[in-house]
Amino acid sequence: LTKQMIEAGACAIQVENQVSDAKQCGHQAGKVTVPHEDFISKLNAIRYAFLELGVEDGIIVARTDSEGASLTQKIPVSNEPGDLASKYIDFIEMEEVTLENAKENDSLLKHNGKLVRPVRLPNGLYQFR
């Protein structure tokens, strides 16, 4: 379905992590979400669909129960390699930096053994891969 939508001209795809037959409004309790691994697999599948069809700048709107998934910070804190925060961070475009070329208000992370800075779009949001 995603490929058909892209072929029809869609430049953005929205996907949610709530189970479709148990959806709740964002402010209500009792939301049921799909397993994190399933949601990440869906995001990857959408990204690959864009790439397979030659759309390098396709937009994925990933609506999540961010509070329930512990993703309420702009960049989540990873406590161990492979945890949910680490998988989320893997989607953010990063550039390697040194302390000498870091700017005053940069957000710096140690990721995969390197000191990196998330790439920001002109509007200040983080760029995703």
Indicate which residues carry an active-site annotation.
25
DSSP E strands: which ranges in the chain?
12-16, 59-63, 94-96, 109-111, 114-118
- Which of these, 45, 73, 72, lies nearest to 58 by C-alpha position? 45
* Residue 22 near residue 32 (C-beta atoms within 8 A): yes
Show the CA angle centred on residue 96, arms to residues 90 and 100, nearest 5°: 140
First to last CA, the chain: 22
Non-local CB neighbours of 81 within 8 Å, separated by 6+ positions: none
Tokens describing residue 72 = 């309420």
